[in-house]
Amino acid sequence: MNSRRPFAFEAADDDPLSGIANLFDVAMVFAVALLAALISYMKLGELITENEVTIVKNPGKPDMEIIRKEGKKIERYKATRNATGSKRGGRRIGVAYELDNGDIIYVPEE
């Protein structure tokens, strides 16, 4: 008489790599969730659509960057100290200040 007790998981013990497939599935779900969280955190969901989008990163700072998307074409503009917004050149004519209450004051240069 063989009084061996049957184990509930005896059939699963045949393949030691059977749990690897489940780990791969979990890793893929985690990667997709992380990608979606990063896109929503950086507010870049508009770049996925076909619409025209303009994004200003770090506005008013020396490392300001403007990202513009038209259809499938994406252009990046980096701010420089002498940037005029035109390829023909130009000159600085004044400074605009925004007050705490939202009013904007323009001060022309002499």
Predicted confidence band at 5 (pLDDT cuts at 50, 70, 90)?
low
More confident residue, 30 or 67: 30
Burial class (CB in 10 A: 0-12, 13-18, 19+), 39: middle
- Report the first-to-last Cα separation within the chain, whole angstroms: 109
Using the 8-state DSSP alphabet, how is residue 68 labeled? E
Within 13 Å, how many C-alpha atoms sit on residue 73's CB side? 2
Domain boundaries, the chain: 12-108
Q: Tokens 């940037």 belong to which residue?
A: 83
CA distance 32 to 24: 12
pLDDT value at position 35?
A: 92
Report the share of the chain in percent with pLDDT over 90: 11
